[in-house]
Amino acid sequence: MMDSKDRREFMKQSLAGAVGTGLAGSALAATGATASLPPADKTPRFKISLAGWSLHRAVRANLVKMLDFPQIARRAFGLDAIEPVNTLFEVPTHDYVRRLKKNAEDEGVKVLLIMCDSEGPLAHREKAVREKAVRNHHKWVDIAAELGCHSIRVNMQGEDKENAASAKGVEDFVNRAAESFVSLCEYAAAGKINVIVENHGGLSSNADVMVRVMKAVRLPNFGTLPDFGNFPDGVDRYEGIRKLMPFAKGVSAKAHRFDAKGNEADIDYDKMMNIVLNEGKFSGYIDIEYEGDELSEYQGILATKRLLERYQSG
């Protein structure tokens, strides 16, 4: 593990490299990507934010901290919005949250939402477990409100794997999830926070099930965070995103690897962005969530940013 001096040096080199020819050049050379920003006098069709998970390896290696995230987003990547992950917060105390908020304000960076993991299965078969999971999320609602976020992103977990494919099993799951989300959304409404669900494995990656939950809850501060990845093999990811977009309060642009022209090798971004922008009429922030290992995290973020920039001008 690096000490503070080594970490500062890593940050210095990373920030310098990302905006100079070193890191940016190597990323573009590796992907063949070129920037195509909209003209200065034209409003982009959407804005780009940075998901904290894109730097999870660097954070876990103690190379950077979530407190550095606003500076990294602004100075290394020219982005004005971030989406931190709760499990990457070092110590989510009041002082820590205050420091993160100040760091973001100093950089002119918005904290859009908090990705919330490991706080319990909100659709568990046992009511006491579900209620505990709802209470566990309350602190993140409060932190999100303090940071000026519009949402917390939660997971929809708790399916009974032995009967998750049965009609009765799915119905029970939907009812349990809806009960928890109604309770959590009612708490979040006081702080003007949305509760949004990502397709993130299990039945949450079944778009039809997600739509059933959305319709069962039917609250204005409840919605989806469609993620271009996170669909099982054999599932039509494009149709899945199409079904989730009517409820979307954010979009996550997943990327793993790139071809020589800078295209995502496994996801047809032309097709995906048409669903999001033209069919879905989405015009908010789309986050960069790079999860690959062929490029470094910094290079992968830059490559994903260049790819998304192609679509900003329409």
For residue range 107-147, list pLDDT tens digits in order.
Answer: 999 999 999 999 999 999 999 999 999 999 999 999 999 99
Which is more confidently placed, 43 or 285?
285
Is 145:157 a contact under the CB 8 Å cutoff? no
DSSP 133-180: HHHHHHHHHHHHHHHT-SEEEE------TTTTTSHHHHHHHHHHHHHH
Q: Cα separation of 263 and 256, whole Å? A: 11
pLDDT band for position 23 (cuts 50, 70, 90): very low
pLDDT tens figures, 277-286: 999 999 999 9
Q: Is the pLDDT of residue 16 over 70?
A: no
The three-class DSSP label of residue 198 is strand
pLDDT above 90: percentage of residues in the chain: 83
Whether 85 shows a pLDDT value over 90: the answer reads yes
Residue-averaged pLDDT of the chain: 90
pLDDT by residue (tens digit) across 61-79?
Answer: 999 999 999 999 999 999 9
161 pLDDT band, cuts 50/70/90, is: confident
pLDDT of residue 164: 82
Neighbours of 6 (CB within 10 A): 12
Radius of gyration of the CA atoms of the chain, in A? 19
The owner of tokens 């500062």 is 8
Q: How confident is the model over 263-281, as a mean pLDDT?
A: 98
CA distance 57 to 288: 15
The yes-or-no verdict on residue 48 having pLDDT over 80 is: yes
pLDDT of 27 higher than 90:
no
Query: What pLDDT is attached to residue 197?
Result: 98
Cα–Cα distance measured from residue 202 to residue 8, given in angstroms and rounded to the nearest whole number: 40
Distance (Å, rounded) from C-alpha 227 to C-alpha 213?
17
Note the pLDDT of residue 263: 98
- What confidence tens digit (pLDDT) does each residue in 214-262 have? 999 999 999 999 999 989 999 999 999 999 999 999 999 999 999 999 9
- In the sheet where 285-290 sits, what is the strand order? 110-111, 81-83, 47-51, 285-290, 251-255
Q: What is the pLDDT of residues 172-218, one digit of tens each?
A: 999 999 999 999 999 999 999 999 999 998 999 999 999 999 999 99
